Amino acid sequence: MIELRGINKTYQIGGSPLHALSDIALTVRSGEYLSIMGPSGSGKSTLLNMIGLLDRPDSGSYRLDGVETETLKEEGRARLRGENIGFIFQSFHLIHRLTALENVELPLMLTGVPLRERREKVMQVLTQVGLASWAEHRPNQLSGGQLQRVAIARAVLMKPRILLADEPTGNLDQASGREIMEVLESLNDDGITLMVVTHDANLGDRASRQIKMLDGKIEIDTGGQNAAHRSVSL
């Protein structure tokens, strides 16, 4: 379970306060599929960063799987993030000198997993996203849609229970974007909690639950009326 209560975040921009998040309250059940929509500057990405433990609020409570995250030191937050959350970004964040396989296996290399074991795991997730035959290609040999599939494979390699996607189709053409959303939705069908930030209403409407933000506040929350209730517990 994700539970936010009274979350506030203010940045100082040119000496003036910018209220990025104002008294945010949000509960997300395991296995839900949410979109977070709103104009630029509405707080969408800031909210996603809070949920992903990439940033801290100025005030409020954030509980993940019953753990109050604001009492954790950075090491504890990093461990909780690594065990539960995968990230997908608009700009892919791949290392261009590495192959698709090598980009995906980086998290396993950092944790000391033996070569044979990590290659088996990487090929499993590349197969899952339809890129097994492209494993030895470098980013400059891949299309935008293929690059995002590599990023998705890397994000799910450690089997996260939550997948956070920030404008995952923003750099893609319409056809590639649709394919990427189908990959993400198939992961949600497998039980991963999926949260997608998008400015595209057509993509946002694909989600079972829509969050619409304005000026750092949640203006509309459809409440998951059509959301799937899964037995997996977060």
Instruction: Name the DSSP letter for residue 56.
Output: -
**What is the pLDDT at residue 13?**
86
> Are 63 and 7 a contacting pair, CB within 8 Å?
no
Strand partners, 34: 195, 209
**Alpha-carbon dihedral sign for residues 108, 233, 49, 177:** positive
226 in any annotated domain = no
- Tell me if residue 12 falls in helix, strand or coil: strand
CA 203 remoteness from chain centre? 15
Q: In what order do the strands lie in the sheet with 209-214?
A: 85-89, 162-166, 193-197, 33-37, 209-214, 217-221
pLDDT 10s digit of each residue in the chain, 234 long? 899 999 999 998 888 888 999 999 999 999 999 999 999 889 999 999 999 999 999 999 999 999 999 899 999 999 999 999 999 988 888 999 999 999 999 988 888 889 999 999 999 999 999 999 999 999 999 999 999 999 999 999 989 999 999 999 988 998 999 999 999 999 999 999 999 999 888 899 999 999 999 999 999 999 844 333 333 333
> Are 177 and 146 a contacting pair, CB within 8 Å?
no
What is the span of the domain harbouring residue 207?
A: 2-221
209 in any annotated domain = yes
How many structural domains are present in the chain? 1
**Cα–Cα distances in angstroms (integers) from residue 149 to residues 49, 125, 181, in the given order:** 21, 10, 10
**What is the pLDDT at residue 226?**
38
CATH code for the domain in which residue 215 is found: 3.40.50.300
